[in-house]
Structures are given as structure tokens and as C-alpha cells.
Structure 1
Amino acid sequence: MATVLLLRHGRTTANADGTLAGRLPVPLDDVGHDQARAVGERLRRLPLAGVVSSPLRRCRQTLRRALPGAAVTVERRLTECGYGDWEGRSLSELATDPLWQDVQRRPSAVSFPAGEAMAAMAARAVAAIRDWDARITAQHGPGALWLACSHGDVIKAVLADALGLHLDGFQRIVVDPASVSAIRFTPQRPFLLALNDTGGDLRALAPPPGAADSADAPVGGGSGAR
């Protein structure tokens, strides 16, 4: 199967203000624009077979800065979790809501008032990534590399699934603005290749010859990508 790079959008005005944006059309702030340009310098070195994105403004802005001129396909299943009545409110205020502790400790049971269940968000996001990975593999072969731009909780849910974690463990994962994580799916298991990378050389994530043909984990750790 192909390898997917999961890109979180750059920092937004809501991130800077400490509010929960949810599905509101918040833009990148100046730091976010800089982050998008910086990650673009690394991404443009890669032979990306496809780019898909959440429909929200901050993801589309990130890709326009990072990969100007790239053909981007909008995938609505990668949109932010529907936080409902929580959207637009300060995180410090939300932390006093009893539901906050459930979000921290057992998110699989959380359904946001007038919003979405976190389990439903995770299911649609994982399905979208796996569907696109199969499509990219069919079109470009198992050595293909592709990019999906989305949101923190969405990416964390996909990573938790790849790691075999229950959704209640996904809060252990950190996904910073403009970070890149990478998963290579195989018929037997997914392999997590990178997590929350904010500055490394991404060329090492391209599958080496033959790596995409095996679903076996190397005993002893293997010799690395290069």
C-alpha cells in the first residue's frame, strides 16, 4: 500500500487566542502562514502522488502556502470534529465544563451538545484515509506517497487507529500545527513512520525499493530507510 503524510494546518487566530475553532472559518495567523511556507519547503522535495484536504479554510490556506499550484481534492470526511455548542468558546472556560474530563479520559463516549460524537469523527476520518490510500495505491502503485491535510483531533484519531490504540488513548498523542506524521498501510498492519515532525527531512519517509512489498515487521528493528 502507499504511504500517507498527515499534515495538520498551520496555527490559526483561534489557536493563538485560546479558543476552540471547530468548524468555524478561522484563518491562519502570521505564525501559521510562516509555518505553512516552512513545511512547504520540505514537502516540495517529495514526489506526491495526490493531495487531499479538509474543506475548512485553515487547511486550504495551509496548502496554498505550502504547495502553491498543487491540485487539491477536498475530502469532507477529513473536516474538523463537530464540537457543536463548544465552538468559538475559550478553552479555559470549556475546561470547567464536566464534559471536559470525559473528553480527556474517555473520548469514545463523548458526544458534543448539538455536535458530533468523537467516535463518529474517528470512524469517518479513518475510513477516508484508508479509502484514499487504496485509491492512490491502485493508481500509482505501493511505493506512492500522498498527503492529507486535516486537524489535530482528526489526525490523532487516525494515528491512534494505526497504532492499535483504543480511541480513549488518543489523547496521549501530540500533533502540533504544521506538523507531519506518516503511516504506511500494508495488508497485515499499518506502520507508523513519523509522528509530529516539525522540522526533519521528509525525503526519508519515501518508501525505499522493496519496502512497500512487505507487510512484515523487521525482527530486531531493521536497517532503516536509508
Structure 2
Amino acid sequence: MTVILLRHGRSTSNTAGTLAGRGEGIALDERGREQAQAVADRLGDLPIAEIVRSPLLRCEQTVEPLAAQLGLAPTVEERLVEVDYGQWTGRTIKELSTEPLWKVVQQHPSAAVFPGGEGLATVQQRAVQAVREHDARLAAHHGRDVLWVACSHGDVIKSVISDAMGAHLDSFQRIVADPASISVVRYTSTRPFVLRTNDTGTDLTGFVPKAEDPNPPETEAADSSDAVVGGGAGS
């Protein structure tokens, strides 16, 4: 069974440099809507058996064009919801990067528990369980290998990929999941195979190193080697 892990398109929170979390009303911005249509164009001809998504609006909007093109009604999966960042929700990335917990999230995420929210270890447990259960359900229903889509959020997807790689959660900040990117995992009876990560198309210009900006935008993390909590706005 092969799952396409799809991150939602760019949201209004991504471009504002805030941590959306489970805040209500966070929608795709104009670029995010374009990305959602591009996803449908890229995946619409594939034999996708099912679309499973997080209950949040930005994931609903991301899969709408694809679902319409395929004639599928997406399945809502609560366990694919965004991390509950608790008291961090809605705050700016710039502000959060000065918090003592930020270093824990960067260097030892398996120990990170957001104040008033959940821990990243719990996030990985629920997300991996959901993906594996849906994978097994679809295998049993179809009696063969099928392709399906799971639309979720940056840190959630990174935690699933980390598990599929057999890597400790503490290494998941080395994984990138940009808005509207796809990562592909094939689950077998013995082990998963990670076939692709952070794929946003054939254009590779986003991988060209950029000159260091002496006045970086406030949306960037304090240290360029830091991962942006929540996944950031992409290139």
C-alpha cells in the first residue's frame, strides 16, 4: 500500500509568520489556493483510491480540487489534525524562537511538550497509528496494493516520515515538508519504504542556496539551522 502524504497549501498564518496550530478560520491564501489546484493537476490522473484529511479548514481546501477531479468524498481523520501547540498557538515564530522550549523542540523534540498542549511524541504516535490503520483497512477492502492520499500538517507529516525511516523522533527536524509538498511512503508486511520527500514538482530552483540576507524577515527562525515549528511558509 502506498500513501501520498500531502501537506496543506500555504495558509494565511504561514505568510503572517504565526503558529496556526488548531486556531479556527486559518484558510489558504491566494498562493495556497493555486498550490491546491496544482496538486490536483499533478495527482488527478493517478489511480487514487481514497483521500483522508485532517479536519482543519486548510486541509479541506487543499484537497477540494483533487477530490472534485477524482469524484471522491474525503474521509476526515481526527488523528491527522495539527499539533496542539497550546499556549504557543497564534504567536509569532520570531517570538517563539526566544522561548527556552524552542531549543528542546529543535534538539530533543521527543521530550517537547507544548504548554497547555500536547507532546510531539504523542503526535507521532497518533499520526502513525492513523496512517497504518487506514493503510491496512484499504488493503483489506481492495485486496491489493492501492494508492491513497493523507492530507495533514508539517510536523505531523515529518513525524510519520521519521517513523517510516526507522529514525528516532529526535531527528525529525532534519526532514522538510513545505506547503503543498508530497512525500510518498510504501508500507509492506515487513517495513515501510520512503520513496519521496518534500516533492513540489520538477522545478529545482528552490534548492539553490541563497545569499545570506543581513536583514532577514521576521517570519524566519532566529537560527538558519533551526526548523520552523509548524512547517513554515516554504520557499
Segments of structure 2 that go 5 or more residues without pairing to the other structure are 203-235
Q: Secondary structure at the match of 1:88?
A: coil
Query: Counterpart of 2:152?
Result: 150
TM-score of the aligned structures, taking structure 1 as reference length:
0.86
Aligned to 1:125: 127
Number of equivalent positions: 199
> How many Å apart are 1:66 and its aligned residue?
3.2
Ranges of 4+ aligned residues in structure 1 off by more than 6 Å: none
Pairing of 1:134-145 with structure 2 (within 5 A): 134-145=136-147
Alignment of structure 1 residues 121-200 onto 2, 5 Å: 121-200=123-202
**Residue equivalent to 2:226:** none
Tell me the distance in 1 between the aligned counterparts of 2:112 and 2:201: 34
Deviations 1:123-181 (A, max 9, x none): 00000000000001111133200010000000000000000010000000000000011
Q: Is the 8 A contact 2:53 2:76 kept in 1?
A: yes
- Counterpart residue number, 2:4: 5
Q: Is the 8 A contact 2:67 2:74 kept in 1?
A: no
- CA drift of 1:187 comes to 1.3
State how far apart, in whole Å, the 1-side matches of 2:112 and 2:104 are: 7
Aligned equivalents of 1:52, 1:19: Cα separation in 2 = 26
The alpha-carbon deviation at position 24 of structure 1 amounts to 1.0
**Shift, 1:191, TM fit:** 0.5
Q: TM-score, normalised by structure 2?
A: 0.83
1:67 offset after TM fit, Å? Answer: 2.7
Q: Following the alignment from structure 2 to structure 1, what is the Cα–Cα distance between the partners of residues 39 and 143?
A: 25
Cα distance in 2 for partners of 1:101, 1:175 equals: 20
Within 2, Cα distance between the matches of 1:184 and 1:142?
13
Cα drift, residue 64 of structure 1? 1.0
Alignment-mate amino acid for residue 164 of structure 2: A
1:113, distance to aligned residue in structure 2 (A): 0.4
Tell me whether 1:51 sits opposite 2:45 in the alignment: no
Query: Secondary structure of 2:59's partner?
Result: helix
Write the distance in 2 (CA, Å) between the matches of 1:135 and 1:66: 22
CA contact (8 A) 1:85 1:112 kept: yes
Cα pair 2:4 2:150 within 8 Å, conserved? yes
Counterpart-to-counterpart distance in 1, 2:12 and 2:59? 13
C-alpha separation between the residues in 1 aligned to 2:17 and 2:135?
34
Kindly provide the amino acid, as one letter, of the partner of residue 197 in structure 1: D
Q: Match for 1:109 among 108, 111, 131? A: 111
Q: Deviations over 1:78-119 (max 9, x none)?
A: 000100000000000000000000000001001110000110
Q: Which residue of 2 aligns with 1:77?
A: 79
- Cα displacement (A) at 1:65: 2.9
Q: 1:66 to 1:49 in 2, by over 3 A?
A: closer
Q: Distance in 2 between matches of 1:33 and 1:39?
A: 10
Check conservation: 2:51, 2:67, Cα contact below 8 A: no
Query: Any idea what the Cα deviations from partners look like across 1:19-75, whole Å, max 9, x if unmatched?
Result: 000001300000000000001101111111111000000000111133324210100
For 1:98, the equivalent position in structure 2 comes to 100
- For structure 1, the 5+ residue unaligned runs are 201-226
Q: Report the identity percentage.
A: 57
Is the Cα contact below 8 Å between 1:33 and 1:65 reproduced in 2?
no
Could you say what secondary structure the match of 2:193 adopts?
strand
